[in-house]
Structure 1
Amino acid sequence: MRIAQLANFIGPASGGMKTAVERLGAGYADAGVPRLLVVPGARDARTSTEHGDVVQLRAPMVGGGYRMILEPWRVVDLLEDFAPTSIEVSDKSTLMPVTRWARRRRVGSVLLSHERLDAMLSLRTGLGTGPGVRAPVQVLNRVLVRQFDTVVVTSRFARHEFRSVAAAAGTALHRIPLGVDLATFRPVPARAGRGDVLRLVHAGRLSREKSPHLAVATAVALHRRGVPVRLDVYGTGPHRGELEALAGSAPVVFHGHVAGRGELARRLARADVALAVCPGETFGLAVLEALACGTPVVTAAYGGARELVDADCGAWADPDPELLADAVVDLAARPATPARTAARARAEQFCWSTSVDSMLAVHAGVTGPERVEPRGGRTERTA
């Protein structure tokens, strides 16, 4: 088995999906599977790592901090040399021509879907999820499922988008939850109890599809009620100015990007409650990272993140600031120690080794005994 991972990322703030691809790739390599990772960047570069080669292809900025590979034939050239038995694509746009190469070469193809398009478009445009959004998304998804041998989603919420179109196309659909780094994200030893101020935290990209506005508005609602509160916001993005204006005089502190995941973990662990309130999140690594730090989470009543939070380790409400503020108050009224213990226990149910094993099984399922001929010689496909 030889796996090529193909991804388009945002950059330093690309967050959950970048982490997922890196952790899966490391797991493949640790299992003895050769792995190539292809990502966009400012310039061409190739780096050899203990987990396989990482190839960065020059790619233009396309808005909002994103870079996108617009020359898929250059990816094909890399694949011809690497001769994968399967490709794993976490992109639904410019890398689609690569799947046609894979089909011709009898190389297995896996779509790792990291966003639900109807939810993302709804949050970005404010148009809701009516026919104007659903119809074009369904058309695109019908095309997508016919390009791949298998589609992988990370939650029941994400699976709903593909269930009918995948069945109609005869394309396999798998739900594989992601994991969390339990060693880096962990409770702070001998953490002090709650003080006079309720400490809230929000970590994530400050762009509309991640709903940071809803988190800030929740803190503002609590402040207006007279609740002693402080919200620490970690992350960067195009809407920071809007969020600062929304916060006004409320005690909301914007820290920007935190260098080092260990430092982010320590800050998450010091909070009383984490706000991860995006209703369109297909999974929610930020939720798991907070839970792993022993910090209970308030989330939206629907979406992939809701599937990670149970009644012992958090609370939820419809995505409305006042209702979410009620959920925060209810959660903060519980005894702190049991909630924090339950948060850590919940995170421990999601380990990367399980995710890696499940993904390797998917790749094995699309890998056949056919032969491919890379440049410079013949390589036999074996599972």
Structure 2
Amino acid sequence: MSEAMTSTITFDRAVTATGATSTRVADDKAMLRAAADLTRELSQPKPAVYWGDLIASCGIGYGALVVAASASSTAIVTVAAIVSVLALYRAMSFIHEVSHMKHSALPGFRAGWNALVGVPMLIPSFMYEGVHNLHHAKTRYGTAEDPEYLPLALMKPWTLPLFIVVSALAPVGLLIRFAVLSPLSLLSPRLRTAVVERFSALAINPQFRRRAPEGEAKRLWDRVETAASLWAIALIAMAATGIIPLRSFAIILGIAAAVAVLNQVRTLVAHLWENEGEPMSVTAQYLDSVNVPPPTLLPGLWAPVGLRYHALHHLIPSVPYHALGEAHRRLTALLEPGSPYHKASYTGLPVLVGRIARSTMIRR
């Protein structure tokens, strides 16, 4: 997930020694077959886990947000803000599960997530549904048609810090998108087209343009967008009239910005970003993606809700987040040491950031 509003920034590429060799990797049939066979019975989501995790994350996140926004002690504000960021980030990350799940298997979860997270945080599920699935399409991954891919490892060094810093503007951008652009777009078909195509996707590819929804998807979109628009207008009105003190409003925006930055950092290390636009085999896509498995503990905070197994997720996207750990253990035990499966595991965030940073500095 970026996973902020579609950026219009154009990144210049740096020609590097990493190249796009991954596009020439043939599929490892033994790994793909094992992934399918060993995880078949793990594909059923557990409603109690989903609802319990989401409700607990929201309860902790919003509770800490209220403490941070109302406390006078700097120390209390700081601690509460950190707790709020981590908990709300976890709650937000369920948008990834919503985009993959069969909604009949978890009745009401999408509506519940939108009510608890999507609308309050101005990231309704339609911003990811219909977008993220394109990232998993075999012929689109890593190409110009992938909304969630940029060859960051092949770009100029300055693009990496810019990629992170620009995400801090996401809360303001989302307020503008829903409080200003949504209502105005009702008056202008041309503006409405631009809003749908360019400002309605949690994507990082600035060239991506999404299609307008149709049928039931459009009806859901309209309902949730209306709710998000009314909420965004209400937030601005409450801040402008003093119902929400400006200091508290600034803290809330700061926490939201920190959530966006944390998510962008996670996005930065979700892949190796070494493909130059050619279609890739499933194995190549897997090797361009990242697992950060145990015993490392911190990924549970910066890559929650199964995102620490991002490479594995690309092999078995239908397996729910709570089963990915077991799937990883099974595959690790079965597949021989020389299997490509083991080559997508890394030890932590510093190693991954360092690898991408070095790649941007290498010249051919």
What TM-score bracket applies, with the shorter chain setting the length?
A: under 0.3
TM-score norm. by structure 1 comes to 0.23
TM-score norm. by structure 2 comes to 0.24
Task: Mark the structure with the bigger radius of gyration.
Answer: 1
Q: Normalized per residue, which structure has more strand? A: 1
Q: Which structure is richer in relative contact order (CA contacts within 8 A, separation 6 or more)?
A: 2
